[in-house]
């Protein structure tokens, strides 16, 4: 429906005499109507247009109306009633109600889009009398600016709702780590929460099939049994060059609109989209550091369901799931009674620690390694047979490593070094393995690591051997481990602590010394035991060192 309505040729009239207009004798009022930006027409009791203002006529001219632009003498009701447009039919019904006296006025909003502009209007019809005759004042007000603002607010509200839902799922994933859940528990909960939301229709999580050609569905929600069977065909589908492959291989989120027509999605995915009427989906890689655990696929009916802001929120969700998976694997590694133990040998120049040992004729033993973020590691190594200044001078000439001496001892010294690249330790940590021992001597690094049962051992091995010609996998074996109970842990700690060290640990803990802010000071605890503050701190630090060593499974002296 457009204001004024376009008439067909059978309603074409000769220009009527303007003197016949009811307002022709009221030039002041007519001038006021013509000054309005709102399109105004007056209908008589039969629905015929007897007056239009300048805004009405300008609109008709600019939109190519078939009638003379003023449309005087056109039967407005008849044109509306014969139109196939539902909005025109609504207008006719409302005007008839006003003319029939069942209501004094009528209004509604409707779209009136042109070829190059999206527009919205409000039509209002108001009944009035003049010289004993009934008339209807019809106004068409352009509300496009207001409507666009409302649509922007609606879009922002939808995005906010999406962000809130995704953030809620992220929180649930992180909270679930405290409940000791499994990967299957997390995957099932995520798919169910997304499928039951008001914004999305279904979700599933996929990973590479065993032959690396297709994909297997690990968890799903929101599908019928028929479409579940269709998705299972992904196992044998050719997924090369598709968004699924890109998301998993490159770790990038892929949004696809127009799933019916998209040529970059596997056949089973397209079949499911047609069956459910999906118009868009989002593929979110599930990653932690360099490990990709699969991808989350979220389906929606809306053609543009995933804005840039929503994609960013799902990126956070993918990272949170990946972090959760890694934490679960580490927990399994800590409590497993069997792990896969890998032993590697790497020669210089493919190992920075091996290079140091070769250039300075020293022995390098890894004490511990801590991820420092952005693909870097902070390593703590004990070096023997060479003075610190010789080692530091050698490191200055190596790319990707910085170091400083932590402490010098009688026969060796402790070195802290930050490794950014060029070490097989980096991929091991990034793929979730635990480095158990590393020793470099005469230009060769011997390295052992443990991988939790159920982890992708092949990916870990390939990551270490990749681009390192001298690297060799010397052995891979399943190793049984004894499980230490809480009681056994406490007994081992008692064996390491002296009575005074244990007293200081317990006193500091119960007195709130470790709280932030502290509820008591070291001096106050020392006074309560009638010892000096330095003595308290010495016992406390020694006790904490033994506790940390036991927790991290390191041998500590008494």
At the topology level, CATH places domain 486-551 in: Arc Repressor Mutant, subunit A (1.10.10)
- Which helix (H) or strand (E) element contains residue 368? strand 363-373
- Tokens 């001298």 correspond to 470
Average pLDDT score over the chain: 81
Unique residue bearing structure tokens 């927790």 = 551
Instruction: Report the share of the chain in percent with pLDDT over 70.
Output: 85
- Are 9-142 and 150-333 the same fold in CATH? yes
What pLDDT, on a 0 to 100 scale, did the predictor assign at position 216?
A: 84
Residue 88 pLDDT greater than 60, yes or no? yes
pTM of the model: 0.46
Helix-helix angle 533-551:499-510, to 10 degrees = 90
**Pairwise CA distance, residues 168 & 173, whole Å:** 9
Over range 361-374, report the average pLDDT.
84
Q: Where exactly are the structural domains of the chain? A: 9-142, 150-333, 338-480, 486-551
Q: List pLDDT tens digits, range 51-72.
A: 999 888 888 888 777 678 788 8
3-state class of 460 per DSSP? helix
Output the CATH code of domain 9-142: 3.30.450.20
187 Cβ contact partners less than 8 Å away, ≥ 6 residues apart: 205, 218, 219
Does the structural domain 150-333 have CATH classification 3.30.450.40?
Answer: yes
The mean pLDDT value for 351-370 works out to: 92
Look-up: residue for tokens 């020392």?
526
SS3 for 292? strand
Q: How large is the greatest C-alpha to C-alpha distance in the chain, in angstroms? A: 117
Burial class (CB in 10 A: 0-12, 13-18, 19+), 380: middle
Vertex 331 angle, CA 340 and 451, to 5°: 15
User: In Å, how far are 119, 205, 232 from 267, measured between CA atoms?
Assistant: 39, 17, 11
């Amino acid at each position: 429906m457009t204001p004024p309505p376009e008439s067909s040729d059978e309603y074409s009239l000769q220009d009527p005499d303007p003197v016949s207009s009811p307002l022709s004798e009221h030039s002041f009022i007519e001038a006021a109507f013509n000054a309005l930006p709102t399109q105004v027409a007056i209908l008589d009791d039969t629905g015929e247009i007897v007056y239009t203002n300048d805004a009405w006529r300008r609109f008709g001219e600019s939109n190519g109306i078939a009638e003379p632009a003023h449309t005087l003498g056109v039967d407005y009701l008849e044109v509306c009633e014969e139109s196939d447009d539902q909005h025109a039919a609504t207008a006719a019904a409302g005007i008839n109600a006003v003319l029939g006296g069942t209501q004094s006025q009528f209004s509604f909003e409707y779209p009136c889009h042109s070829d190059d502009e999206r527009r919205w209007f409000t039509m209002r019809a108001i009944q009035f009398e003049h010289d004993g005759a009934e008339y209807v004042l019809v106004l068409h007000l352009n509300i496009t600016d207001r409507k666009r603002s409302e649509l922007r607010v609606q879009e922002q509200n939808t995005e906010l709702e999406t962000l809130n839902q995704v953030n809620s799922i992220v929180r649930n994933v992180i909270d679930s780590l405290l409940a000791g859940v499994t990967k299957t528990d997390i995957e099932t909960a995520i798919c169910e929460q997304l499928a039951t939301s008001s914004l999305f229709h279904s979700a599933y999580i996929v990973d590479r099939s065993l032959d690396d050609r297709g994909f297997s569905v690990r968890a799903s929600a929101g599908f019928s049994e028929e479409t579940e069977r269709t998705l299972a065909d992904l196992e044998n589908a050719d997924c090369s060059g598709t968004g699924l492959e890109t998301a998993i291989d490159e770790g990038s989120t892929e949004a696809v609109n127009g799933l019916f027509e998209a040529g970059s999605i596997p056949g089973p995915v397209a079949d499911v989209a047609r069956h459910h009427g999906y118009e868009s989906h989002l593929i979110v890689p599930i990653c932690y550091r360099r490990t990709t655990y699969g991808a989350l696929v979220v389906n929606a009916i809306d053609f543009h369901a995933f804005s840039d802001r929503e994609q960013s929120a799902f990126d956070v969700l993918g990272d949170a799931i990946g972090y959760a998976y890694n934490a679960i694997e580490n927990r399994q590694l800590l409590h497993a009674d069997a792990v896969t133990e890998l032993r590697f040998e790497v020669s210089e120049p493919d190992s920075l620690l091996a290079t140091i040992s070769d250039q300075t004729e020293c022995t390098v033993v890894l004490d511990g390694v801590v991820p420092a973020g952005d693909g870097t590691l902070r390593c703590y190594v004990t070096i023997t047979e060479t003075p610190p200044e010789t080692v530091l001078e050698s490191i200055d000439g190596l790319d990707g490593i910085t170091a400083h001496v932590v402490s010098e001892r009688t026969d060796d010294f402790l070195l802290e070094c930050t490794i950014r690249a060029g070490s097989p330790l980096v991929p091991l940590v990034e793929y979730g393995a635990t480095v158990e021992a590393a020793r470099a001597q005469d230009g060769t690094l011997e390295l052992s690591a443990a991988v939790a049962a159920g982890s992708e051992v092949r990916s870990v091995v390939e990551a270490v051997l990749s681009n390192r010609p001298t690297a060799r996998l010397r052995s891979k074996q399943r190793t049984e481990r004894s499980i230490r109970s809480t009681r056994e842990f406490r007994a081992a700690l008692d064996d390491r602590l002296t009575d005074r060290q244990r007293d200081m640990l317990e006193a500091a803990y119960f007195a709130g010394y470790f709280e932030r802010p502290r509820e008591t000071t070291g001096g106050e605890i020392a006074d309560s035991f009638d010892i000096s503050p330095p003595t308290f701190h010495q016992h406390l630090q020694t006790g904490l060192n033994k506790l940390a060593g036991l927790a991290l499974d390191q041998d500590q002296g008494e």
